[in-house]
Every structure is written in C-alpha cells, then in structure tokens.
A and B are shown apart, each in its own frame.
Chain A
Amino acid sequence: KQEVTQIPAALSVPEGENLVLNCSFTDSAIYNLQWFRQDPGKGLTSLLLIQSSQREQTSGRLNASLDKSSGRSTLYIAASQPGDSATYLCAVRPIKAAGNKLTFGGGTRVLVKP
C-alpha cells in the first residue's frame, strides 16, 4: 500500500529565506505527483504537477523536483514571503490505484515571519 510522508510537520522561517519542503513515498509506481497549498479553512490550490517521466517543474518562485527511484520529491520556494504561510501537501497518483485516486501526505505547515 502506498504511503506518503511529509517531514517536518511544521516549519518556521524568517522572511527572505528559501523554503525546502520534503515529500517521500513508498511505491515508485506512480503516474505523477502533485503539490498543493492550503490556507486555513480553505480548499486545496494546485501548485505544481510533476509527471513520472519528469525530473522537475517550475512556476515562478516555486520549483519541485522528483526522484522516483528513491521515492522523494522536494518543493523549493525561493525568497519566502509572509504570504507563503500556509500548509503544503503533496499527493501521488499510484499506478495500481483505481479511479485516478490520490494518496496524500499529512502536510507541512509553514510560517514565514516578517
């Protein structure tokens, strides 16, 4: 059974510092991996989708890498801002799962201090 882990569960950094968020998964047989942002009391906003054949994806200050063989993905947020404070979740789409289902990690809660 696929398991997804995000460590640490919470992270606090001063404004301007680069953020590094980790996601690990146990089964490398995935179609893709998706990173989401969730603000308190809100839904999930998709940040980046990395297909299994890709090594990384970039969008503005965000860069996500994928090492499928080692079961790891990292989300980098450059020059963090207080507006980046949120919970970040990663999710994988296992090949063996019916219905295009996602398996989620528990999330990393990020606080960027001014």
Chain B
Amino acid sequence: DGGITQSPKYLFRKEGQNVTLSCEQNLNHDAMYWYRQDPGQGLRLIYYSQIVNDFQKGDIAEGYSVSREKKESFPLTVTSAQKNPTAFYLCASTDGQGAITEAFFGQGTRLTVV
C-alpha cells in the first residue's frame, strides 16, 4: 500500500530536549511538507521540500529544523528553541504540478511537553 507513514504516533518531550518526528513516503512524490495543527488555529506550514537536499521555511519555522537526504524521508526536529511545541504535527506530500497537484497526508504525531 502506498502512503505516508509518520512515527511515533505519540511523543513526549521534556523541557530543553530536542525530538525528531519521522515521515516516510512510498508514493514517489518529489515534494514533502510539515504542518502544525493547534485547536482553533487550522494548519500552519513549518517547512517544505520540493526536491532532495533542498528545503524552505514555511510560515512558522522558528524552533524547527528539517533535512531531506532521501526522496522518501523528511524528518522534522523540534528543538529546545521552540517555546510552545505541544501540538499535532502532520506530514504531507504532493504529486504533479499546477492544477493536478494533490496533497496526501500521514496520520500525524501528537507531541506533548511534560
């Protein structure tokens, strides 16, 4: 089955700790994205990557970092600089260009600061 796999499903972080969220896709999509979802605020874009070894900041990149060493993988690190990391994190990928571009999402990782 083709799709996007996010792990872990739940993650707990202590104050001052860095944590990494995994996102793997087997859809052969070039572009991948990380979104953050908070209650009442909708989805906000953290980082995106259109091609291997290249990525761009989204609207709320501060306190986060990413890498794109392989087409299939786009891990997100939440650093200690992110002051309010408790949220639901969603990874997505897209195929095609322009009007036929369709986004597909993983099942999400819920991060909680303890």
Contacts and interface: CB of A to CB of B under 8 A. Distances in A.
B11 interface: no
A31 B99 contact: yes
Contacts, number: 64
Interface of B: 4, 6, 31, 33, 40-43, 45, 48, 50, 56, 58, 88, 90, 92, 94, 97-108, 110
Nearest to B56: A99
B43 A43 contact: no
Contact of B42 (A32, A34, A53, A104): A104
A46 B103 CA distance: 7
B56 A98 contact: yes
Given A44-B90, A100-B97, A34 B103 contact: yes
8 contacts: A41-B108, A42-B107, A43-B107, A44-B90, A45-B105, A46-B104, A89-B42, A100-B94
Contact of B101 (A36, A43, A100, A106): A100
Interface in A65-111: 89, 91, 93, 98-102, 104-107
